[in-house]
Amino acid sequence: MQLNENAAAPNAVISVESLSKRYGNKLAVDNVSFQVHSGEIVGFLGRNGAGKTTTMNMLTGYISSSGGSAKVCGFDILSDPFEVKKRVGYLPELPPLYMDMTVKEYLSFCCDIKHIDKAHHKSQMDEVCETMKIQDMRKRLVKNLSKGYKQRVGMAQALLGNPEVLILDEPTVGLDPRQIIEIRNLIKRLGKAHTVILSSHILNEVEDVCERVVIIDQGHIVAQDTMENLAQNVSGVTRMTMRVMGGDKQVMRAIHDVEGVTFVDELGVKEPGCMDYIVECVRNSDARKTLFYTMAKMNKPIMQLRPHDVTLEDIFMQLTTADNGESEG
């Protein structure tokens, strides 16, 4: 299912058209097209092996494409790879760190390979260290840093050179809850000055940070839109959470028999003497009145009835297929 595939626009910072990547007989990315516009934070989602990391690696110039085209800030990833690399800051899932360097040595090395003018090395490093709150870590060996600080150093190297585009692959993996919140807030702030592609398996993180999502499955883009539009277009049902006093299996059968109800299941006891149920109804139907009269007839008071918002997890599970046992690349 392809939802709202945007046509290229004048302010598209990243423009991908029919991009493909083949590894032998395996087509890891197949005819992918999408755009990311200036100032957007876009979530790039997919199961393991879906093609998202391969796509990001092609956009950064880490690997070449087998077909199609992609432009970053107007520069083609194949014909102008150096210009593309100057405009992209990339944080892979495993940060590209040199463990036997100090943080200062490592960031200085990254300045060199990014061809940042020597005169600007100190100011650039000062700026990214302040942004990532690693000023006190500069003289420490990278291998002696905690997982959280290693992740921060990886983010710092991506920010060197003040690139227009940031591509972040699992930036909060392995962090503790406080560190995750700090990185999420940082990404939101970075989105005010950069265009960001964020890949993450933590779907509520994507919901919290991203304005739009692109979902890839088995090498194909299956959806790209805002969360609100995806929820409206993808979900074929209306969900409610229903709390019934004295709920039992007979109550569950009665709920299931109500016209328009397609699914009901117990959620457990959340209040003494009551049972919570998840109730799914045909989209655009309203079974609340019938449910009220049905429970009243059974002398089973409804203590709570509220809509159940469609989550990104719901959308993701509906749009992506079951695991076929293949891995990316």
**DSSP sequence for 155-210:** HHHHHTT--SEEEEESTTTT--HHHHHHHHHHHHHHTTTSEEEEE-S-HHHHHHH-
Query: Contact 165/194 with Cβ under 8 angstroms?
Result: yes
Name the residue among 121, 123, 125 with its Cα closest to residue 135.
125
Tell me the pLDDT tens digit for each residue of 263-321.
999 999 999 999 999 998 887 778 889 999 999 999 999 999 988 777 788 788 888 86
Domain with CATH 3.40.50.300 in the chain: 12-87+163-232
CA angle 159, 162, 165 (to 5 degrees): 80
> Between the CA of residue 121 and those of 114, 124, 162, 243, what are the distances in Å?
11, 5, 12, 61
Confidence of residue 75 (pLDDT cuts 50, 70, 90): very high
Confidence of residue 236 (pLDDT cuts 50, 70, 90): low
Give percent of the chain above pLDDT 90.
Answer: 71
Domain with CATH 3.30.70.3190 in the chain: 237-308
Q: What is the pLDDT of residue 161?
A: 94
For residue 6, pLDDT beyond 50? no
End-to-end CA distance of the chain: 24
Q: What is the pLDDT of residue 237?
A: 67
Q: What is the pLDDT of residue 228?
A: 76
DSSP-derived 3-state class of residue 25: coil
Tell me the pLDDT tens digit for each residue of 49-62.
899 999 999 999 99
pTM: 0.76
Q: What is the CATH number of domain 237-308?
A: 3.30.70.3190
For residue 4, pLDDT beyond 90? no
For residue 8, pLDDT beyond 50? no
Name the residue among 139, 121, 20, 3 with its Cα closest to residue 70.
20
Phi, psi of 120 (to 5 degrees): -105, 0
**Dist. CA 198–CA 52, nearest whole Å:** 11
Name the residue among 221, 216, 209 with its Cα closest to residue 166.
209
For residue 135, pLDDT beyond 60? yes
Helices (H), 61-102: 81-86
- pLDDT mean over 74-81: 94
DSSP-derived 3-state class of residue 308: coil
Q: What is the pLDDT of residue 1?
A: 42
Question: Read out DSSP for 199-246?
Answer: E-S-HHHHHHH-SEEEEEETTEEEEEE-HHHHHHHH--EEEEEEEEET
Q: What is the CATH number of domain 12-87+163-232?
A: 3.40.50.300
Select the highest-mean-pLDDT range: 60-69, 167-176, 280-289.
60-69
Q: Please report, as a single letter, which amino acid is at residue 310.
A: V
